[in-house]
Amino acid sequence: ADSTVFRASTTAPVNIAVIKYWGKRDATLNLPTNSSLSVTLSQRSLRTVTTASCSASYPASEGDTLTLNGSLQDISSSKRTLACLASLRVLRNELESANPSLPALSTYPLRIVSENNFPTAAGLASSAAGFAALVRAIANLYELPQSPTELSRIARQGSGSACRSLQGGYVAWRSGTKEDGSDSIAEEIAPASHWPEMRALILVVSAEKKDVPSTEGMQTTVKTSPLFATRAERIVPGRMTAIETAIHNRDFPAFADLTMRDSNNFHACCLDSEPPIFYLNDVSRAAIRLVNDINHVAGKTVAAYTFDAGPNAVIYYLDDVSEIVAGTFKAILGEGLDGWEGPFGDRLKGVSAG
Ligand code: PMV
């Protein structure tokens, strides 16, 4: 066989939701029960680097392979990965049919090699960056003309939150209403440059794998929490509109208030599930108190916390209060904590008491 190897590399950042996705109305297509909105972190903080290659000379018997952080994964049992690869091949095949002079890449085995610069599956949105990078790398390899919003439909099938990592800045994932998911897509509502003072401090409280995987946790909440129905139907829609307005107006107190309330409401729904799901721990709660104290002392809201499916805190603040917010965190919670300062900041490793 022709030994030419076709290759493309890319990086994708992590995104941290301020209005949370929690609940699937379709678990195969990852269609959510509500819209969500996130901030894409700087590539200098948390990111995945992925290289995709394919060649007619790769043995068909090996099939497609995925190596994550140096270890070969079994993708034959990963329906989500297979769904992404199949959708990307369909798009490449369309190109090849329209232009028979193109090499038949869609028929070659794929080799995907991916590295995270942060702990995997610890509630740090590793699957978001991972699937976004996988989709982007293969879309580049296949020279697909689709826009990031169009590709978000594919990344969503890998991991819901991944659909928001193909774009920068402030990204809304519209839940959509169609059964086939064609209108469940992500769109950038503002680029990072719209609000260049925005910062995020990521406190790695624990790098252990999370207790309850997000898919399982979501199903439990949707099935058992009476509070959840109110969240999806009555609470989130208004918050989506309000936070888009806050971002548009660069209104930090409004952005912060909505972010903290939505994190609390999501974790309240987890606690309201049967059996209850606990993602926050004592250090998480100490971080919440510290943000409240910082805001109290400042006399206005200068910092906001948010937590995903794990105990790690993400603290949003603006650059002009960096001393107060990041400085206080480093001084009080710093010892033994590992952290990053992004968007749009730099990695802080092994922060020590200061
Ligand atoms: O897409 P998943 O399975 O990684 O779920 C992500 C869920 C949260 O991180 C808790 C919220 C969100 O919107 O990212």
- By the 10 Å C-beta count (0-12 exposed, 13-18 middle, 19+ buried), 7 is classed as middle
pLDDT over 60 (residue 353): no
**Contact predicate 194/169, CB 8 Å:** yes
165 Cβ below 6 A of ligand 1: no
Q: Could you give the CA distance from residue 58 to residue 334 in angstroms, rounded to a whole number? A: 48
Q: Could you give the CA distance from residue 18 to residue 294 in angstroms, rounded to a whole number? A: 20
pLDDT in tens, 198-216: 998 888 877 676 689 999 9
Ligand 1 centroid to 331 CA: how many Å? 30
DSSP state of 44: T
212 Cβ below 6 A of ligand 1: no
What was the ipTM of the complex prediction?
Answer: 0.99
pLDDT in tens, 336-346: 555 544 443 33
Ligand 1 centroid to 337 CA: how many Å? 23
Looking at ligand 1, which atom is closest to the CA of residue 214? 3
pLDDT over 80 (residue 221): yes
Domains parsed from the chain with CATH numbers: 6-194 (3.30.230.10), 198-351 (3.30.70.890)
Distances (CA, A) of 13 to 18, 134, 205, 240: 16, 12, 20, 22
307 Cβ below 6 A of ligand 1: no
Ligand 1 centroid to 79 CA: how many Å? 18
329 Cβ below 6 A of ligand 1: no
Give the distance, in angstroms, between the CA of residue 304 and the centroid of all CA atoms in the same chain: 18
Q: Which residues pair with 36 in a beta bridge?
A: 173
Cα dihedral sign for 127, 130, 136, 138? Answer: negative
Give, for ligand 1, the residue of 39, 173, 214 to mutate: max count of ligand atoms closer than 8 Å to Cβ.
214
Give, for ligand 1, the residue of 18, 19, 20, 135 to mutate: max count of ligand atoms closer than 8 Å to Cβ.
20
The mean predicted confidence, pLDDT, of the chain is 91
CB atoms within 10 A of CB 322: 16
**Contact predicate 116/129, CB 8 Å:** yes
- pLDDT on residue 342: 42
**Contact predicate 165/13, CB 8 Å:** yes
**Contact predicate 257/292, CB 8 Å:** no
The residue behind tokens 């030994």 is 3
39 Cβ below 6 A of ligand 1: no
Cα dihedral sign for 62, 65, 71, 73? Answer: negative
| Dihedral of the alpha carbons of 184, 189, 191, 192, in degrees to the nearest 10 | -90
Ligand 1 centroid to 5 CA: how many Å? 35
- pLDDT on residue 186: 98
Looking at ligand 1, which atom is closest to the CA of residue 159? 1
Q: Could you give the CA distance from residue 78 to residue 72 in angstroms, rounded to a whole number? A: 13
Closest C-alpha residue for ligand 1 atom 10 = 308
20 Cβ below 6 A of ligand 1: yes
108 phi/psi in degrees, rounded to 5: -90, 150
Report which residue type is found at 69. Answer: N
Looking at ligand 1, which atom is closest to the CA of residue 161? 1
Of residues 41 and 275, more confidently modeled: 275
Distances (CA, A) of 260 to 33, 158, 301: 20, 27, 11
| Predicted confidence band of residue 121 (pLDDT cuts 50, 70, 90) | low
161 Cβ below 6 A of ligand 1: yes
134 Cβ below 6 A of ligand 1: no
Give the distance, in angstroms, between the CA of residue 196 and the centroid of all CA atoms in the same chain: 20
- pLDDT on residue 343: 40
pLDDT in tens, 229-261: 999 999 999 999 999 999 999 999 999 999 999
pLDDT over 60 (residue 122): no
Ligand 1 centroid to 124 CA: how many Å? 9
What is the pTM (predicted TM-score) of this model?
A: 0.92
Q: Could you give the CA distance from residue 162 to residue 134 in angstroms, rounded to a whole number? A: 10
What element of type H or E holds 289? helix 282-298
Question: What SS3 class is residue 25?
Answer: strand
Q: Could you give the CA distance from residue 199 to residue 190 in angstroms, rounded to a whole number? A: 15
- pLDDT on residue 118: 72
116 Cβ below 6 A of ligand 1: no
Looking at ligand 1, which atom is closest to the CA of residue 123? 9
Sheet strands (E) in the chain:
6-13, 15-19, 24-26, 31-32, 36-40, 47-54, 65-68, 71-73, 110-116, 170-173, 186-190, 198-204, 303-307, 313-318, 337-342, 347-351
309 Cβ below 6 A of ligand 1: yes
Closest C-alpha residue for ligand 1 atom 4 = 161
262 Cβ below 6 A of ligand 1: no
Report which residue type is found at 189. Answer: I
308 Cβ below 6 A of ligand 1: yes
Q: ∠ at Cα 110 (108, 113), nearest 5°?
A: 160
* pLDDT, average across residues 183-200: 94
Ligand 1 centroid to 215 CA: how many Å? 9
